[in-house]
Structure 1
Amino acid sequence: MLTKRKTAGEALFDGFNILGMLAICFITLYPIWYVLVNSFNDGQDAMRGGIYWWPRAFSMDNYVEVFKNPGIMTAMGVTVAKTLVGTAAHVFFTAMVAYAFSQRELIGRNIYLLMGTFTLFFSGGLIPFYLLIRDLGMLDNFMVYIIPFLFSFFDLIIFMSFFREIPGALKEAAKIDGANDFSIFTRVIIPVSMPVIATISLFHGVWQWNDYFVGMIYINNMDLQPIQTFLFRVVAQSSSSQIVAAAGGGVDRTVTSQSIKLATMVVTTAPIVFAYPFLQKYFVKGLMIGSVKG
């Protein structure tokens, strides 16, 4: 089989594309590599600079100092719990509301959609929201990570778009078998909606994992603060003595505030970085083939 030979212009265009993509990959990945390399380098040695590709004085002292703080494991547990519980609750609640909104016979549907669209552009602001959280008794409460974020109108739009593509024959068949609306939603709609559920789960799960603002504003109890708030407080420290004092250890001359910041950043971001590539495969649309026989 003969292949068409590229012209000089096409080869030049492909070359520029390849170089451009390599440049983008380098710009994106090198900061991560820089943080990783310096986190494994002796803190005092790293202050001299000049470390770009490999640790000059390899050391694990930064990570030892980070894990001396018992609060980091507590914060990690809080983050895992709020990510799992918050994501599951958000996806189920938002999907349930979206399914109702996707039914054209819903009374007042257009008014509700207009109200929801309004919230995409305008909000009450931080102070009214804080007062609401306080009056609901959710300050220093684990549920502050869950209840206020059960619903997202933006995610509802994504769910609705998917639900509208589901063949009506599925719901009609379930109704003939005597299923009510909730049974149809849980036993028919949810199983065939795994692509969009996985996508929204990934979006909200990454947000839950990376969020530090909620823990910083609404949580004063250190045992309820997530790992990203812990990271924020570590980065906010102005000297290594403050950090080491918080860890309950003595001053280590090989450790600096900057080296501990870098090590903490690696510890807190590594889990979601490793999990993300395995979840990418769920960004697939149109897996409805075979759900209806006809």
Structure 2
Amino acid sequence: MFALKRKTTGEVIFDLANNVFMLCICFITLYPIWYVLINAFNDGKDAMLGGIYWWPRMFTFKNFEAVFASPGIMQAMWITVAKTLVGVVAHVFFTAMVAYALSRKDLVGGKIYILMGTVTLFFGGGLIPTYLLIRDLHLLENFWVYIIPVLFSFFDLIILMTFFREIPEGLEEAARIDGANDWSIFLRIVLPVSMPVLATIALFHGVYQWNDYFTGMIYINNESLQPIQTYLYRVVAQSSSSQMMVAVQGSALTKTVTSQSIKLATMVVTTLPIVFVYPFLQRYFVKGMMIGSIKG
């Protein structure tokens, strides 16, 4: 048995200071989220008095009732869920397909394609040329503006391409001997063995799709096509919260909710779904990043 090495006084002090520092960072990071949450569950008129720091003083669901009473929020939530699901599937499949092609050593011009893609990591066309392109593609006021422009990501391609190059060539050779073509190899062999890295890319793009408010703000004027994050932007930055107050006038909610409490409740409604989903995909994220970034 080996005796455990006792820590020196300096090491103990360093560990203690490091733990205190990290706890402070965690508190600074998490407390604003907790503050929004407790005030969202507190009576709006009571919250105006202040003094709510740790727990709701007058717990209520009335703020959330007022949010869901708005006719537009459920439509915005549906658009967000639809664009996240469709966008993730389309993005992962399309990017994986291109990454598989570029991972092949016998692809003619493969290095040129990779060089062209690398340039896009550092330089972009800018907002105005992008808007003109979206307009000419007839994607303005169109649901597919959330999907088509982000079908491909060269950053995600690098992760996938690195992983695909680690797949043993013997698998493909055996499949070709059995008569499989490139599509069969890609769909029946490459994708099934690449689930960890595919889950990583799905998580990347899923979080992006859920949090994206800019696309709906720039390219969509029709409120029935705007996602929940654009809806939240309108509530927080514009007068939508006041319009929501008008929608609940005359009901019992008027006595308990305020414009500020509606804003906080809307923030919670738009944020919690992705917060709940993320921890379940975290292990795939870490594993996929390691597999896709380390070459053996």
TM-score normalized with structure 2 length: 0.92
**In the alignment, is the contact (CA less than 8 A) between 1:140 and 1:219 conserved in 2?**
yes
- The aligned counterpart of 1:106 is 107
- The aligned counterpart of 1:284 is 287
Change (3 A) 1:240 1:145: closer
Q: 1:257 aligns with which of 256, 259, 263?
A: 259
Change (3 A) 1:203 1:77: same
Cα distance in 1 for partners of 2:133, 2:255 equals 47
- The aligned counterpart of 1:160 is 161
Offset at residue 140 of structure 1 (A): 1.2
- The aligned counterpart of 2:23 is 22
1:1-294 correspondence runs (5 A): 1=1, 2-238=3-239, 241-245=242-246, 247=247, 249-250=249-250, 252-282=254-284, 283-285=286-288
One-letter amino acid of the structure 2 residue matched with residue 69 of structure 1: S
**In the alignment, is the contact (CA less than 8 A) between 1:237 and 1:243 conserved in 2?**
no
**In the alignment, is the contact (CA less than 8 A) between 1:42 and 1:61 conserved in 2?**
yes
Offset at residue 6 of structure 1 (A): 2.2
One-letter amino acid of the structure 1 residue matched with residue 280 of structure 2: F
Offset at residue 48 of structure 1 (A): 2.3
One-letter amino acid of the structure 1 residue matched with residue 86 of structure 2: V
Change (3 A) 1:271 1:219: same
Q: Which stretch of structure 1 is more off in the superposition, 272-281 or 48-57?
A: 48-57
Cα distance in 2 for partners of 1:240, 1:186 equals 48
Q: Secondary structure at the match of 2:185?
A: helix
Count of equivalent residues = 287
**In the alignment, is the contact (CA less than 8 A) between 1:202 and 1:279 conserved in 2?**
yes
**In the alignment, is the contact (CA less than 8 A) between 1:240 and 1:255 conserved in 2?**
no
Offset at residue 36 of structure 1 (A): 0.1
Q: Which stretch of structure 1 is more off in the superposition, 278-287 or 64-73?
A: 278-287
Where structure 1 has 5 or more consecutive residues not aligned to the other structure, the ranges are 289-294
Offset at residue 287 of structure 1 (A): 7.4
Where structure 2 has 5 or more consecutive residues not aligned to the other structure, the ranges are none
Q: Secondary structure at the match of 1:284?
A: helix
Cα distance in 2 for partners of 1:200, 1:240 equals 35
Q: Secondary structure at the match of 1:29?
A: helix
Cα distance in 1 for partners of 2:267, 2:241 equals 16
Offset at residue 254 of structure 1 (A): 2.5
Q: Secondary structure at the match of 1:193?
A: helix
TM-score normalized with structure 1 length: 0.92
- The aligned counterpart of 1:292 is none
Offset at residue 29 of structure 1 (A): 1.1
One-letter amino acid of the structure 2 residue matched with residue 261 of structure 1: K
Q: Which stretch of structure 1 is more off in the superposition, 119-128 or 27-36?
A: 119-128
Q: Deviations over 1:206-259 (max 9, x none)?
A: 0000001111111122111111011111112348543323x4644814322211
Q: Secondary structure at the match of 2:104?
A: coil
Offset at residue 191 of structure 1 (A): 0.8
Question: More helix by proportion, 1 or 2?
Answer: 2
Change (3 A) 1:110 1:56: same
Cα distance in 2 for partners of 1:195, 1:206 equals 17
* RMSD, matched Cα: 1.8
